[in-house]
Amino acid sequence: MSLVGGVLSLTIYARILGPQTYGRLAVYLALIEAFQGVCFQWHRLALVRYWDASGESEADSYLVTSHVTWIVIALVGTVGWLVALLLLDGSRVEWAMVAIVALAKSAALYAQEIARVSGAVLRYALASLLLTVGATLAGIAAWSTTHSMSLTLCATAAIFVLQTALCAYDRIAAFQRAHFEMAKLRTMLRYGLPLVPVFLATTALTRIDRPILSAFNNAEVVGIYAAASGLVTNAISAACLLVVTPAYPWLLRERMSRSESGHRTLHSQIGSLTLAGMLAICITFFLARDIALPLLLGHAIGVAAEPLVFPLLTIAVISAFRMHFFDQAYHLHAQTRILMMINISTLFVAVCAVYIGARFGGLRGLLTGLLIANVFSLGVSAMFARALVDMKRIMTSGILLVGIAGVAAWCGSVSRFALTHLPHSNVWGTCISTVVGIVLFAGMYFGGNIGSIRCALKGRL
């Protein structure tokens, strides 16, 4: 629901604002995401890993310690942003509102994680909608009324504050039952601080592209790229997380009951299932791009974004699989120090590749730089993950899945040329060719039993 809401949010903004204004907003949103990712994402993961696993008597102490840590980080982040604000050109009011939105969104995501880990499913679902669609509608209403970017950001921040209160109001009482404990903080920091370089690298691969592109291109180009990239990335992530989100706690539990080799096999089979879902979305996007993009992003952005679909899909699949499969393997086995070293090297390559690509090649150069950085990151992550997952199984399944996805996409494209004589052939050709591609991919996937998928459907992973 969170990712579907994210897609809806993006499409609403893109259709209403247009490429010029959306490009301007996209730079702000990228910096907001980067701030909360680097400063607070490690903190959220530490909450997930240790709070629910704490004993009943220790859970409140851990939560209070986590709350206090969040507040301290927020204060430090605010001071840092204020110092940067004094050095910035442009509207200081807008940049101040960006800082407020960044803090409010970080609080909202943290509170949402509390709801998820504590099993408050309905509250989590409502919070997901508020975080995406609710915040977007408030921002669009403010923009339509005032055409002020500052007030648009202010309305968005107000929804994030509302969502924070919705998700965490019942956890304030923990302060009455427990207190801050240094031992809990040390546990949190031992696990979390090595993740900071991880999220710095993730920011370089997924967020810093828009501010860098804006330095060398106009806002319209940034808006087209940001809208297409966001749509593709959200769609691929949705397919990935539909498998990974429920599988991760299951994999944690299965480590206690399976042999090491059995657990590595199980993890690899889940990885194959994840990759298959992402490739199915790729085929759909690739074959239906001339209808889907103008429909979702508006004609001005959608038509201009069509040539970007294939490189964006390639980058998104590599990035999502590395992040949600290989990186999750390190989280699963608490190997955050290895993950830190991998991402320090990735950070250097990513920043150089993205900056040099955008500086000398514009948008095409940026895409090339992102592809190089993501392939490098995938290779390094896979090399060090051999002890954690069954790499032979993953590589075999991955090559087969990419092969049949290519065949399915090619057959879908050929079928479209064969349907050009039909009335309204553009619409019918696109729809039928997309169905042909998906059916062929699913048939070859299940028929070939790639990644032992038939066993998985029978519950014998």
| Positive/negative CA dihedral, 327, 329, 331, 333 | negative
Question: By the 8 A CB rule, do 62 and 184 touch?
Answer: yes
| Residues 246, 378 within the same domain | yes
Report yes or no on 213 lying in a domain: no
What phi and psi values does residue 88 have, to the nearest 5 degrees? -85, 150
Report yes or no on 24 lying in a domain: yes
Listed residue (184, 198, 246) closest to 51, CA to CA: 184
Report yes or no on 359 lying in a domain: yes
| Residues 86, 160 within the same domain | yes
Q: Which domain holds residue 315?
A: 218-454
| Number of independent structural domains in the chain | 2
Q: Indicate the burial class of 169 (C-beta count within 10 angstroms; 0-12, 13-18, 19 or more).
A: exposed
| Residues 89, 226 within the same domain | no
Please give, one letter per residue, the 3-state secondary structure of the chain.
Answer: CHHHHHHHHHHHHHHHHHHHHHHHHHHHHHHHHHHHHHHHHHHHHHHHHHCCCCCHHHHHHHHHHHHHHHHHHHHHHHHHHHHHHHHCCCCHHHHHHHHHHHHHHHHHHHHHHHHHHCCCHHHHHHHHHHHHHHHHHHHHHHHHHHCCHHHHHHHHHHHHHHHHHHHHHHHCCHHHHCCCCHHHHHHHHHHHHHHHHHHHHHHHHHCCHHHHHHHHCCHHHHHHHHHHHHHHHHHHHHHHHHHHHHHHHHHHHHCCCCCHHHHHHHHHHHHHHHHHHHHHHHHHHHHHHHHHHHHHHCHHHHHHHHHHHHHHHHHHHHHHHHHHHHHHHHHHCCCHHHHHHHHHHHHHHHHHHHHHHHHHHHHHHHHHHHHHHHHHHHHHHHHHCCCCCCHHHHHHHHHHHHHHHHHHHHHHHHHHHHCCCCCCHHHHHHHHHHHHHHHHHHHHHHHCCHHHHHHHHCCCC
Domain boundary among the residues 180, 201, 234 is at 180
| Residues 284, 400 within the same domain | yes
Q: What is the predicted pLDDT for the residue at 159?
A: 92
Report yes or no on 202 lying in a domain: no
- Measured in residues, the chain has a length of 461
| Positive/negative CA dihedral, 5, 238, 298, 315 | positive
| Residues 58, 124 within the same domain | yes
Report yes or no on 16 lying in a domain: yes
Question: By the 8 A CB rule, do 41 and 200 touch?
Answer: no
Listed residue (327, 231, 238, 312) closest to 274, CA to CA: 238
Listed residue (354, 350, 132, 352) closest to 237, CA to CA: 132
| Residues 175, 226 within the same domain | no
| Residues 2, 77 within the same domain | yes
Q: What is the predicted pLDDT for the residue at 15?
A: 86
Token code pair at residue 349: 């390559």
Residues in the chain with pLDDT < 70?
1-3, 52-57, 88-91, 171, 173-174, 176, 178, 334, 420-425, 451-461
| Residues 43, 130 within the same domain | yes
Rounded-to-integer distance, Cα 275 and Cα 384, Å: 20
| Residues 413, 328 within the same domain | yes
| Residues 283, 378 within the same domain | yes
b or e along 351-388 (b: 16 or more beta carbons within 10 Å of the residue's beta carbon)? bebbbebbeeeebebbbbbbbbbbbbbbebbbebbeeb
Report yes or no on 107 lying in a domain: yes
Report yes or no on 200 lying in a domain: no
Distances (CA, A) of 80 to 76, 195, 247, 350: 6, 20, 38, 24
| Residues 428, 345 within the same domain | yes
Token code pair at residue 63: 């939560």
| Residues 113, 253 within the same domain | no
Domain boundary among the residues 163, 180, 197 is at 180
